[in-house]
Structure 1
């Protein structure tokens, strides 16, 4: 599991750790590269060799599909423009100020999700994930991709043990910002 608290940089937690927090958080993949609240000019530094080595050895544990090694690297591309976020109420996604909410999406999100879903896709099984994150200064930031325990077929995917999903989000103070889904080939 990748821990990016923003205070000491990214660090990894060994998957064999027996703490309750690690057990509860075992299906969480964090995508926050620490740049969300930083201006673009601060985001262009090249990562150190030790950071790249640490990220390349990142182990991600999840109950379904089987555990996979995933690499999450800081992106050197310029920040992408915000997208519009759907408001859970009926109608348009307009806040009380009459403006759309902004949503920052990590550039590597799709690539990471497809890597996690690859084993299921090869077996003609669908995979789904929950996009979660935080709200800072009226902008939503996707920081976490959660792959819940799930039952999949070639044309459906259903999360199981949803209370675990809510517990993970509650402990991390994360909002559900969307979902991601890949169909089998």
Structure 2
């Protein structure tokens, strides 16, 4: 005869055994067969029958507020602040009512930071060129690091970044194309 074992504390199903004498059942066991279970389910014995419950114990779930992975350690349904759905990108998504959604403010922040970083990296080159022009005018040097064509390209690129976050901004807007002479 098959008997079904359960944990003495949680009452969760823990396996089965075959015994010869049913009159001598071990503690924390029953002859009641377990019900069929789906993924993420287990059953607990309530003293007379098995009850099917959710089981995310030792499973990776995700915090809806932060998007971070959490190893869940309890039986039963997930608390409201957790979900089984992985966050595609914690820096750009937030939890909606039923799924992760693109967060426009997070995208704006990312693009503003990219804009500031790129514009700041160009400032030194612009300043250097302006300094070289003064030196050229004073006849202290014979040419500048950048050609006229390159400085025009640089100005256009810089202005494209300056205007990047204007009213035409949208999620996925392509960044301005960096001039080849600036490298990657």
TM-score, normalised by the number of residues in structure 1: 0.19
Q: Choose between structure 1 and 2: higher helix proportion.
A: 2
| TM-score (norm. length: structure 2) | 0.19
Higher fraction of strand? 1
